[in-house]
Structure 1
Amino acid sequence: MSTPTSTRAPVEAPASVRFARRRQPARWLTAGVALVLAAMFAHFLITNPRWDWRLVGGYLFSADILRGLLNTVLLTLLSSAAGLVVGVVVALMRLSDDPVLRWVATAYIWFIRAIPALVLLLLIFFLGALLPKLSLGIPFGPEFLSVPTNRLISQFSAAVVGLALVLGAYSAEIFRAGILSVPAGQLEAATALAMTRRQRLRRVVLPQAIRVIIPPLSNELVTMFKNTSLVSVVGYTELLTTVQLIYGRTYQTIPLLLVACLWYLVLTSLAMIGQRYLERRFGRGFTAGRPGKEYSR
């Protein structure tokens, strides 16, 4: 019996196949719109004489502005450091098996979320009107040490405490979300390897949770630069307060506000560069290529 001859055409070599690039007119449209808007904005900045760029350049590195900028950076660093410590402690309290600790942490987060940051700063600054003195001693018993409240709570300390409490509440939820993002199976495997709770936290939970924590936490830290402008209500002289004091004398409002905006842009840009570095550093081995690329096609 003879075998039938195959009539199938031979398959061409893959090297001979030519691929056409997919046309994406939407990208050209969005690029054109973006270029037009950018050109209009640049024209507005350059041609409008009311910006007074010479005055902006004169004030940008003036001694008063740099002093206010230094106060803003110092306030941000101290408040952020204290707020992150508070956030870690509160997050661990919320994850604790002790119901009292969970209740205290939940009540703290609820209160800080409910009270505007501006009101909280004022409450802390005027605490002396409610408690004339702060004392240490036995509850409902004798006092061993007492200090006038107004001596402890200055403009700077009220600003640091208020901003730290606000950041602590929001960062606590970020830390908790990062810890809860670690699959339970990995914790069970670590327990099966006889790891202690501290070892599980350091070797299993934190290396994975920090990848989830960095983006939202960086956003809170960037926001802290702008939240420092709220402390003007307690009389602390930071960047925005300095600008307000100057244009209150000279009436050069727009150029001086532009000076503040430029410095806030610089601070925010530096913080975002640090965020990008941390994301790359702790995201190695988790993503291939640019994260989120598959969703933008």
Structure 2
Amino acid sequence: MKYAIYTYDSEQSLQVRQEILDQAEGTELEYDETYPEVVISVGGDGTLLSAIHKYQDQLDQIRFVGIHTGHLGFYADWRPYEVAELVESLKNDSGQSVTYPLLKTEALYDDGSIEESVAINEATIRDFSKTLVCDVYINHNLFERFRGDGLCISTPTGSTAYNKSVGGAIMDPRIIGFQVAEMASLNNMIFRTIGSPVILGTHAQLNIKIMNDENLILTNDREITKLDDDQRHLTEIKYCVASQRVYFAKYRHTSFWKRVRDSFIGDEN
């Protein structure tokens, strides 16, 4: 079994990393950052998202495990005091996994270039200086002209992240699809949008056609792109369910709805 560790740069996370290395020394576990079979993320959910993006081109070959050293670990199943138990699970690994869908993004520019990316949580498009104006197409049919702060396009697992904060619905990850939620849309006697989250299915495609790319910011999980390139201009963004999926090693994987309850509701009084 080849494994790698992706670590948040904090004293506790680095200490946990060293404990894993010490526990694995002398076993059949082989440390390999280039072509690992399992990647152990040590930190918070942001650390795990960064780990997934680092190995984006190998997602079909890798399973992830999270040890959370922060306050909220929605994706992480393990705590720092459980390193010995985790290493034992790695030694007895039989390839078991649980998988979640990803969101694919294609940004199209007027010079013909295309930039592709995937997100496990969400992608957003915003204008930081004025109202965002764009045409929203669903399956190549014009749905609405959006005016507002921005749009959040999220995966089912990402529906509990920024999507929830802007009023989106929480989706069961067994539903293969994605969701569009509005950020402060303009709705009055002149301008109208749907005004509610829209959930799209497995084979749906969402196209956002840009009216003006000046001062636009695109995000893809933790990655941020500020469009200030005078050499080319963004014309359209396409979103759909990615052909890739992300895999988590299922040693004792916590169910999605238990995560939701533990994260947002907690114990009953």
Give me the TM-score of the superposition, normalised by structure 2: 0.23
Relative contact order, higher structure (CA 8 A, sep 6+): 1
- Work out which of the two has the higher radius of gyration on C-alpha atoms and give 1 or 2: 1
Which structure is higher in helix share? 1
Which one has the bigger strand percentage?
Answer: 2
Task: State the TM-score, normalized to the length of structure 1.
Answer: 0.22
